[in-house]
Chains A and B, each alone.
Chain A
C-alpha cells in the first residue's frame, strides 16, 4: 500500500475522527459571523449632487479671466474644503465620533472623517471649444458623507455642499480680483513711468533749450544774421575811427580862445592880454618904483587876469613879498616904528601876505579844474569840433560794446550748433521711451477694463458656478453593511475556517491512524486492531451529554425568544426588521 496514497476513505476517516472540531469551529464561526452581520452598526450615506454650470454670458462676449479646467479647480477647492481645520470644526459642531474622540488624538479622528467623506466626479464626452478636440469634461460631482446617524450624515453633507459653493465663489471672485488688481497695479506702474519720462523730457528741454533739433534751422538763421550784424558794426566802427582822427587833427589847428570882437575893436584873447600886461609890467617896473601907481595898477591887472585865466603867479607874489619884507626890516632899523614908511611897508607886507594866500587858494582850486579850460573856450569853431569829436568817440565806444555783444551771441550759436547731434540722440531716446511707455499703458488699460468686466461677471454670479441639483437627503436605508453579503461571507468563512482548522489539526497531529498509518510508520501493519471499548460510563455519558446539550439549547432559545418578545420588541416586528436589514422586503 502506498504511503502517500490518500483516498476518499481516508478523507472520510479524517472527517469522522475530526467531526467534533469541524462542527465546533463551523458552528462557532457561523454564529460569530451571523452576530457580526446583524450587530454591525449601520452606516448611512447622504449624497448631494452639484452641477457645474458653464458661464451664462458667451465667452466670446465676455471672456473669463479664469481659464483652468473645472475638475482641476474642483480638486483645488476640495483641498481647501477638506482641511484639517474645517473637518475638526465640523466634528466639533456636530459632535461627530464621540467615542473615537475620547481615545484618539484629533488628527486621527480627522483622518477617519476624511475616509468617510467622498467626492465623485461625473464626466461627459464633450468637444473642447478652445481646441476643438473631443475631451472629458466634468459636468457634475457628488459629495457624500457616511456616518452611523442618518440625520448627522445629511447635515454634514449639506455643510460640505455649502463649503464647496462658498469656496468656489470665493475662489473665482478672488481670481478675477487678482487679475484686475494685477493689471491696475501694472497700469499704475506704467503711469508713474510715463510721468517720470515726461519730467525727464521737460528737464532735458530746459537744459538744452536752444539745441533742440527742431530749433536747428532757426539757430543757423540767427547765426547768419548775427554775422552780418557784426560785419555792419565793424564797418561803422571804421568810419567813425577815421572821422575821429580827422576831427582831432582839426582840433589841434583851432585855438580854443579866439579874439573877442567888441564895439571898440578886437579884444585880445585873455592869455594874450596877460602876456601883454606882463611885458608892460616888466617895462614899467624897470622905469618906476614898485609903488608907482602904474606899476601897482598893472600888477593888479595881471593878478586879476591870472585869476581869470586861472594862472596865478604865486612865485612872483612870493618874490615881491620877500622884497617887501627886506625893505620893511631896513626901514624899521632906520626909522622908528611910528615912521610912515614903516607903517606903509607894514601894510604892504600884510597885503602881500593876503594876496599870496588868496593866490595859493586860487591856484589850488584851479589845479582841479584844468578841464574847465573849455569854459574858457570861447572859440565857436573849436567848440563845434570838440563836440563832434566827443560824439564820435561816444559812438565808437557804443559800437565796440555792441561788437562784443554780437561776438558773444555768435559764440553761443556756434556752441548750440556743435552740441546739436548729441542732444538730438538723447532727446530721441527720451521721446522713444515715452512713446513706448504710452503704448504699453494703453494696452494695459484696455486689458484692465476687460478684467474689470470679467470681475463683475463673477461678482454677479454670471460666470461658471456650482448649482446644487440634488441636496443631501436623509438616508432611510443604511449604506453599509450589506448584511446579506456579510452573512454569505460568514458562511463561506466559517466553512473555510472549519475545514482549515480541521486540516491544521490533522496535519499537526502526528499520531498514527488506522492500520495503514501504522504500516506507514513501521513498515508492517499491526497484528491486530482493537476498537475503542466503550463501557457503560462512556455510552451513558455520551447519551446524557447529548440530551443535556439539546435540552439546554432548546431552553436557551426559548428563553431568549420570550425575553426578546417581551423586553425588546415583539417577534413579528423583529422578523420584519430582520428582513428589512437583509434588504429583502
Chain B
C-alpha cells in the first residue's frame, strides 16, 4: 500500500512537471552510473507520450508488484531481472519475448513485473509491447483505457508515438494492444511489424523491449514473431503446465534463443525463508 501510494505521488509530480510539453521524450545518451543514486538517475520527461495514472486497485487486483524490499515476490522478480539482464548483456540482446506453452500461465504478469523491475534500475528504459493481438491485456494491469493500439498501427495509419502510454512509472512505456485481430500471426510476421521492431529496438540505447506474446502452443503468433525477438523467456506454471507441453514449446522455439524459463505460481520459492 505504501509503495503504491509513493509511486502514485511520484507519478503525479512527474506529470505536473512534464505537463504541457509537446516535444517527444528523448534520452540523454550519456549515462552516469555513479554511486550517487538520486542525482545520477536517468531522468526522462515524457512530452509526447501519453501519461496515465494507473489504477492502484486494478494493479493490486492484477498482482502487479510495485516494488519494495523484503518482499519475497519482489526478490524473486529481482532475481529474474538480474539474471535476464546479465544474459542479455552477454549476447548484446535488447529485446526479450515472453511466452508460455499455454494460456493463463502468467506471461503477461511476468512481463509487467519484469518490466517494472527492470525499469526500477535507473540506467535503462523499458518498453513493454503487447503482442497478444487477439487478446491484448497489458493495459488491464494498469487500469487504463486504450484509445489506439498496436493493431491500429499495423493495419492503419497511426503514428507510433500516439500509441505509447506511460503509466506514471519512470523509464517505463507501454505499447498496448486494442480490440481483437483475427489475422494476428500475419500481422506479426509482416514487414511493417519487423520495421517497427527494428525501430523501437534500435532507437535508444539502454532500452530493453519486452514483448508479451500469445501462448506458443495455442497459436502460431509467437513462432511467426520468433525471428524478431533477440531472446525468449518461457513462463511455466508450477502444477499447471504438463511436462510434455514444456518440451513441445521448447521444441517450437528451438530456432530462437531461449534465455531461460520462469517457474511461475510456485508454492514456495527456494530461499524465501532466508531473507
On whether A527 and B246 interact (CB within 8 A), knowing A13-B268, A518-B236, the answer reads no
Tell me whether B263 and A530 are in contact (CB under 8 A): yes
| Chain A residue contacts of B77, Cβ below 8 A | 528, 530
CB distance from A112 to the nearest CB of B (A): 50
The answer to whether B263 and A526 have CB atoms under 8 Å apart is yes
The reply to whether B79 and A528 contact each other, CB–CB distance below 8 Å, is: yes
Q: How far is the CB of A117 from chain B (nearest CB, A)?
A: 56
Q: Are B270 and A527 in contact (CB under 8 A)?
A: no
B230-275: which have CB < 8 Å to A? 233, 236-244, 246-247, 250, 259-270, 272
Majority SS at the chain B contact face: mixed
| Candidates A522, A529, A535, A537; contact of B266 at CB < 8 Å | A529
If A17-B239, A513-B239, A518-B236 touch, whether A528 touches B65 (CB-CB below 8 Å) is: no
Cβ of A338 within 8 Å of any chain B Cβ, yes or no, is no
Give A513 to B233 CA distance when docked, in angstroms.
18
In angstroms, Cα B240 to Cα A484, docked, is: 43
Given contacts A16-B267, A521-B246, contact A530 B236 (CB under 8 A): no
Tell me whether B250 and A522 are in contact (CB under 8 A): yes
A530-B262 in contact given A509-B239, A511-B240 (Cβ < 8 Å):
yes
Residue A524 lies at the interface, judged by CB distance under 8 Å to chain B: yes
Q: Does A514 contact B (CB under 8 A)?
A: yes
Tally of A-B Cβ pairs under 8 angstroms: 115
B83 interfacial contact with A, CB 8 Å: yes
A residues in contact with B65, CB < 8 Å: 533
Residues of B within 8 A of A16 (CB): 267-268
Whether the Cβ atoms of B269 and A536 lie closer than 8 Å is no
Q: Given A518-B261, A518-B263, A535-B60, decide whether A512 and B246 contact each other with a Cβ distance below 8 A.
A: yes
User: Which of B62, B76, B236 makes the CB contact (< 8 A) with A531?
Assistant: B76
Picked from B61, B233, B263, the residue with its CB within 8 Å of the CB of A529 is B263
- CB distance A536 to B60 under 8 Å? yes
| Chain A contact residues, majority secondary structure | mixed
The answer, yes or no, to whether A515 is at the interface (CB within 8 Å) is: yes
Partner of B262, one of A511, A517, A528, A532: A528
Contact A535 B243 (CB under 8 A): no
Q: Mark A489-519, 1 if CB is under 8 A from B, else 0.
A: 0000000000000000000011111110110
Select which of A17, A511, A524, A530 is within 8 A of B269 by beta carbon.
A530
Q: Does B206 contact A (CB under 8 A)?
A: no
A524 pairs with B264, CB closer than 8 A:
no
B200 within 8 A of A: no
Closest to A532 in B: B265
Q: Taking the complex as formed, is B80 at the interface, i.e. its CB lies under 8 A from any CB of chain A?
A: yes
CA distance A411 to B125 in the complex (A): 169
B76 touches A530 (CB 8 A): yes
B80 touches A530 (CB 8 A): yes
Contacts from A to B (Cβ < 8 Å): 13, 16-17, 509-515, 517-518, 520-522, 524, 526-533, 535-537
Told that A512-B242, A527-B87, A531-B267 touch, could you supply 8 new A-B pairs with CB distance under 8 A?
A510-B242, A513-B239, A513-B267, A526-B262, A528-B80, A529-B76, A530-B110, A532-B265
- Return 20 A-B CB contacts under 8 Å, by A number: A13-B267, A16-B267, A509-B239, A510-B242, A512-B263, A514-B238, A518-B246, A518-B263, A521-B247, A526-B260, A527-B80, A527-B83, A527-B261, A529-B238, A530-B110, A530-B113, A532-B266, A533-B73, A533-B109, A536-B60
Task: Identify the B interface with A (CB < 8 A).
Answer: 60-63, 65, 72-73, 76-77, 79-80, 83-84, 87, 106, 109-110, 113, 233, 236-244, 246-247, 250, 259-270, 272
